[in-house]
Amino acid sequence: MKIFCSRANPTTGSVEWLEEDEHYDYHQEIARSSYADMLHDKDRVFKPMADAAVKIVEKNGFSDKIKVINKHSTEVTVGPEGDMSCRANILVTELFDTELIGEGALPSYEHAHRHLVEENCEAVPHRATVYAQLVESRRMWSWNKLFPIHVQTSLGEQVIVPPVDLESCPGAPSVCDIQLNQVSPADFTVLSDVLPMFSIDFSKQVSSSAACHSRRFEPLTSGRAQVVLSWWDIEMDPEGKIKCTMAPFWAHSDPEEMQWRDHWMQCVYFLPQEEPVVQGSVLYLVAHHDDYCVWYSLQRTSPEKNERVRQMRPVCDCQAHLLWNRPRFGEINDQDRTDRYVQALRTVLKPDSVCLCVSDGSLLSVLAHHLGVEQVFTVESSAASHKLLRKIFKANHLEEKINIIEKRPELLTNEDLQGRKVSLLLGEPFFTTSLLPWHNLYFWYVRTAVDQHLGPGAMVMPQAASLHAVVVEFRDLWRIRSPCGDCEGFDVHIMDDMIKCALDFRESREAEPHPLWEYPCRSLSQPWQILTFDFRQPVPLQPLCAEGTVELRRPGQSHAAVLWMEYHLTPECTLSTGLLEPADPEGGCCWNPHCKQAVYFFSPAPGPRALLGGPWTVTYAVEFHPDTGNIVMEFRHADTPD
């Protein structure tokens, strides 16, 4: 049976109807998940999904001993006619996420103890403890707040200030989960010891009711409390002899034996407001949680004596955190990036320029105004971005100086532009619907759609973009696409077959987005340019194609090709969404931390025992299809058979 799915094309902006197999969603979920990574986690207890479990039970001859119940645990019944004949005396679960309770562990345990297990049951895992550490970090704080932006003009420095409600907003309610081990210690100052905030004993009755837990501490140094770093560990047995910890390297008991994970990472929580702290003073860090979420606050007095302790989890009330994700906040706060746009704008702007800005929630229109442009229009297709920019303009007394047009750019009329012809079309480009680097080629389609509104000699910035690639060896990320060939102590051949099946699905043969600053890798080839897109001209009718062979210049396991876009603002100024500088002598890569790069894993995915050395070349074929906006690609080792 075939089904039709509607999809908004992130590159062309059009709505498409795609014919898919009835199992499409299932396969896509498996193929794009990091499920293989879980199988490599040797000290993790895991429960496969029901259909996989049935196959494993049957193939290994346990059908008469193991019963698979294809239900959520809260729907399981106990009794003569129920799913279970009697209550269990051992509770084995895997209900955790990076935040520990974000997948509903508390209500699930609460229900199990009330309805499914005996009163004095044993639980595996037995206990979990959540830890926290207070830090000051301008880098991480820049993911949550809008900083003042400095613009150097011929009349002196202008400062773009955030609206008051952006400064007071507590931020997005969702946790920021990252590979904390990849944040340099130079990027934060530790203000507290590691504090055990609260523990949960899974062998006893668990409550999903809201609660708070406080820990008294004295700051290790004076500074500004901004961020809480948090993680958890679980003790598998009652004695705590078998432990699984998410601690980052500086808090780990044995950093050399750390288990890499992508399914469980560490948490970054932002305090509602930064607060000054003084070394040696007494403070209280408070962990709040409801049935699904955790958040933190800092108190000057014991929370038991403070009636104003925040019990409700923080929710964004400024709309900026709904429009901009955390990498986008970091990108907008990147002063060096702003300076490069200012440098490029100076070379193309004239006092009588009419500027049209096309991006989502961009502040380029403010830069253009401060640099002396006569008239600036900015297009915002969503009501949220329109409202946010209007607040920013008002805070900077620009509401009468920059015209906001709330509609899709393809629908612009002469009336919207007040009868003026555009002399500069400006974009970052950044669009909230983009997942892969080339999805922002939507700017090119917009440029084509507004061609009639461009005046003679009109300029476009960026003038062009180019697609680049490099072949890499990952330290760890390869595990999410590799069969579990290194698991010890149990037979996982059935799971290997499932993962291989997922890897064969079409989605796994396409590139997928990953923030590579969190995933160290070595370049095995020189980076090379694949395709160029000339924004000074409309989107062509014919496909753009490139193919060739790239030499691998360093020995190693060639896991993937990484792709990214570079935007040529002017011939002299280029911004990269991928590599920011040449690789170091060992091949180490420095990636743009504000963007996700595209990763094309080679098939078959190499396992941890792949031989070092060749193959020494990789062939590629890449095509850009203008009618769909899709980029179709294939990379393969030169000695891989067809």
**Catalytic residue from among 20, 94, 218, 406:** 94
Which CATH fold would you assign to the domain 128-318?
Hnrnp arginine n-methyltransferase1 (2.70.160)
Would you identify the CATH topology of the domain 334-461?
Rossmann fold (3.40.50)
The pTM score is 0.89
Considering Cα of 505, then 506, then 508, then 514, what sign does the dihedral take? negative
Question: Where does the chain hold its CATH 2.70.160.11 domain(s)?
Answer: 128-318, 464-637
Active site residue 547: no
Categorize the per-residue pLDDT at 365 as very low, low, confident or very high, splitting at 50, 70 and 90. very high
User: What Cα–Cα distance (Å) separates residue 369 from each residue in 232, 365, 457?
Assistant: 48, 6, 21
Q: Is the pLDDT of residue 493 over 50?
A: no
Confidence of residue 470 (pLDDT cuts 50, 70, 90): very high
Instruction: Please state which CATH number belongs to domain 464-637.
Output: 2.70.160.11
Kindly report, residue by residue over 495-541, the tens digit of the pLDDT: 455 444 444 444 446 899 999 999 999 999 999 999 999 999 999 99
What interhelical angle do 493-504 and 24-32 show, nearest 10? Answer: 110
Rounded Cα gap, residues 263 and 41, in angstroms: 9
**How far apart (Å, rounded) are the C-alpha atoms in residues 118 and 242?**
24
Is the pLDDT score of 212 beyond 60?
A: yes
103 is catalytic: yes
| Closest to 125 in 3D by CA, of 218, 201, 217, 232 | 201
Stretch(es) of the chain classified as CATH 3.40.50.150: 334-461
User: Residue 530: what are its φ and ψ, rounded to 5°?
Assistant: -100, -55
pLDDT of residue 491: 46
Q: What pLDDT, on a 0 to 100 scale, did the predictor assign at position 32? A: 44
- Determine which helix (DSSP H) or strand (DSSP E) holds 521, and give its type and residue range: strand 521-523
Least confident of 2-11, 18-27, 412-421, 583-592: 18-27
Give pLDDT, residue 61: 85
Residue 316 phi, psi dihedral angles, 5° rounding: -65, 130
Going from the C-alpha of 85 to that of each of 73, 93, 110, 116, 203, the distances in angstroms are: 15, 19, 20, 10, 21
Residue 529, both tokens: 């340019």
Structure-model confidence comparison of residues 67 and 52, the more confident one: 67
Question: Is 188 in contact with 139 (CB distance < 8 Å)?
Answer: yes
Q: Do the strands 354-358 and 422-426 form a parallel or antiparallel pair, or are they unpaired?
A: parallel
Among residues 19, 81, 99, 103, the one annotated as catalytic is 103
For 534-557, what is each residue's pLDDT tens digit?
999 999 999 999 999 999 999 999
Q: Give residue 485's pLDDT band: very low, low, confident or very high (50, 70, 90).
A: very low
**Which is it for strands 560-570 and 528-534: parallel, antiparallel or unpaired?**
unpaired
Q: Token digits for 526? A: 């020189």
